[in-house]
Chain A
Amino acid sequence: MSKRRSHVLTHILLVLICFLIIVPIYWVVKTSLTGENLFNYPPSLIPKDPHLYFFVDVYYWIPFLRFFMNSVIVSAIVVVSNIIFNAMAGFALGYNFPGKKIIILTYLSCMMVPFQTTIIPAFLLTKYFGLLNTHLGLALPLVSTIINIFVFKMNFDAVPHSLHDAARIDGMADWRMLFRIYLPLARPAIATNIILTFVWSWNNFIWPLIITQDTIMRTLPLGLARFLSYFEDTSGQLYAFVIMVIAPIVVVFLMNQKSFISGMMSGAVKG
């Protein structure tokens, strides 16, 4: 009896906390569909006469499709190159070879350098390469991430040695084994890589802010921040834009909650 009562109390507390967490998101969804509570006081709880005009407005008022494609292209470069480069590095670190200690030390010390402390030289470097205002320049600092290298390494280490030995006896070259044997067995590591790097590159703001000068090269978060300063009062549209920016992340999250949460956990310290 007392256990059941304490469960009721637990539910009440949790519902309250979840309510506080969800309300801001619900309010944005509602306003993007009605725009009403900005002009109606007091605000209503349930959307009245929802419509999608604000989304259409956003699509036509700004080069939304272009911003969206910029975000997609940069994220695609980041995600694909992360899988390839990190798997390669993680595989190589599974061997004993001269210089291994120094290389691991380099990785670990790089991990402690937050990106925000590198913005000035990173900008100058990218400018020197002539990559300002390009998709490649936007993606470059993120194309490999240390935490994900170690995620791959841990997954590869769990693969039984007998597989490696058998393949070697069959005469398979080691580099081939990565793609034929190890990668197919490292699905969880690949999932973690995709999720982490997709979220990081999709949400990235400070880097695009620094290196994009043309409107046409903006990614979605940058477009959103600039939209705010140009159209302060067009609120229904602003919140429709917010929804359009966060929708991909939220959809990916809701579709793979388990691997998403565990994936984000392994990135406790950004690499």
Chain B
Amino acid sequence: MRQVIGQKRGRILLMIYLFLFPSLAIFILYRITPIIWNLVLSFQEWQFIGPNTWIGLQNYAEMIRDPVFWQSFKNTLFYFFGGTPIAIALAVLVAVLVNNPIRGRNAYRVMIFLPYPITPVAVAIIWQWLYNEKVGLINYVLRSLRLVSDPVPFLQSFKLALPSVIVTTVWQVLGYFVIIVLTGLQTIPDDLYESAELDGASRLTQFFRITLPLIRSTIFLCFIVGIINSFTVFDIIYVMTDGGPGHATEILVTNIYKNAFTFNRMGYAAAMTMFMFLFLMLVTWYSNRVSGGEAGGVSYYE
């Protein structure tokens, strides 16, 4: 820790505050102000002309009675519970495989990670086309293998649209989870496996008795990342289905976006935003308590 001492004490203090100013200003403007503003907006009815009118808790009352809101909340949860466990299970499998001292492991890692940084809008377009009823690759493969007789309209079906979108997200995010799990695997000391081998434990036993218990906190971190992802995903759904068919793939963020910027109902959208914000805070608070401050980036402090 550098100390603020000497004759130039005042000058150094001035420098510190000046250096902190730009970033603090941005965060106060674009993170803290919005939360307060959202809260204020959520008690108001948005007017096109003139000042907004105060309507108390009416937005919240409407929200509770709005089936579309509940559907979008349910879909968001489904998005998390449907996608994240599969992604994590796959990631653990792939990470264990890549962690072997095999040739070309770096090449495998690069290929598996490749989808993650790709522009989500582009990912959505690619997958929309893979799912296409007439010319899509997935339908072609399914029909060639005679698994289906008629082409499946993945994104137009009420039942299949949400799972299809989830598969797309898993495809994109898998590599990221693999790397997180890999960092967890690398903290396990080798001699644990060596002594297990001497005791005659099979590799499967080793996996369940050594590997899994020791990467528990890593898996927990993946769950937190997964839940935040599911609550903030927007691009892929907006481009692939725009919440349709009906509201089958409507999630909280698309619902908020539509109300705020398509129907011009800022107050109502702000109420939904407050709900989403409080829910996420609760999740972060709870996960920090369970993990002892490991999740949510708190570990970066000192």
Q: What is the 8 Å Cβ interface bit string for chain B, positions 113-137, against chain A (1 contact, 0 not)?
A: 1111111111001110110000101
Q: Are A269 and B228 in contact (CB under 8 A)?
A: yes
Q: Within the complex, what minimum Cβ distance (angstroms) separates B167 from chain A?
A: 11
* Given known contacts A119-B260, A250-B114, A257-B110, A125 and B30 CB-to-CB distance under 8 angstroms: yes
Cα(A154)–Cα(B94), bound, Å? 31
Q: Interface residues of A: mostly helix, strand, loop or mixed?
A: helix
- Contacting A268 at CB < 8 Å: which of B175, B231, B297? B297
* Given known contacts A154-B300, A253-B114, A23 and B23 CB-to-CB distance under 8 angstroms: no
B66-74, B78-86, B276-284: which lies at the A interface? B276-284
Which of chain A's residues 195-246 have a Cβ closer than 8 Å to chain B?
199, 202-203, 205-206, 209-210, 220-222, 224-225, 228, 235, 238-239, 242, 245-246
* Given known contacts A21-B114, A242-B122, A120 and B34 CB-to-CB distance under 8 angstroms: yes
Contacts of B102 in A (CB 8 A): 7, 10-11, 14
Q: Interface residues of B: mostly helix, strand, loop or mixed?
A: helix
Q: Are A103 and B37 in contact (CB under 8 A)?
A: no
Output the residue of A22, A117, A246 with the most chain B CB within 10 A. A117
Contacts of A161 in B (CB 8 A): 2
- Contacting A261 at CB < 8 Å: which of B1, B35, B38, B109? B109
Q: Does B57 contact A (CB under 8 A)?
A: no
Q: Are B270 and A120 in contact (CB under 8 A)?
A: yes
Q: Are A88 and B130 in contact (CB under 8 A)?
A: no
Cα(A173)–Cα(B15), bound, Å? 10
Interface residues on A, range: 35 or more
* Given known contacts A18-B111, A114-B228, A120-B270, A265 and B117 CB-to-CB distance under 8 angstroms: no
Q: Does A85 contact B (CB under 8 A)?
A: yes
Q: Does A50 contact B (CB under 8 A)?
A: no
Q: Are A147 and B29 in contact (CB under 8 A)?
A: no
Q: Does A42 contact B (CB under 8 A)?
A: yes
| Chain A residue nearest to B253 in the complex (CB) | A116
Q: Are B15 and A205 in contact (CB under 8 A)?
A: no
Contacts of B231 in A (CB 8 A): 114, 116
Q: Within the complex, what minimum Cβ distance (angstroms) separates B142 from chain A?
A: 13
Q: Within the complex, what minimum Cβ distance (angstroms) separates A20 from chain B?
A: 8
Q: Are A144 and B23 in contact (CB under 8 A)?
A: yes
Cα(A25)–Cα(B300), bound, Å? 35
Q: Which 6 A-B pairs have the closest CB atoms?
A: A118-B34, A121-B34, A121-B37, A88-B19, A144-B23, A92-B19
Contacts A22-B111, A108-B298, A235-B129 aside, 8 further interface pairs with beta carbons under 8 A come to: A10-B97, A21-B115, A22-B114, A42-B144, A88-B22, A116-B234, A143-B26, A144-B23
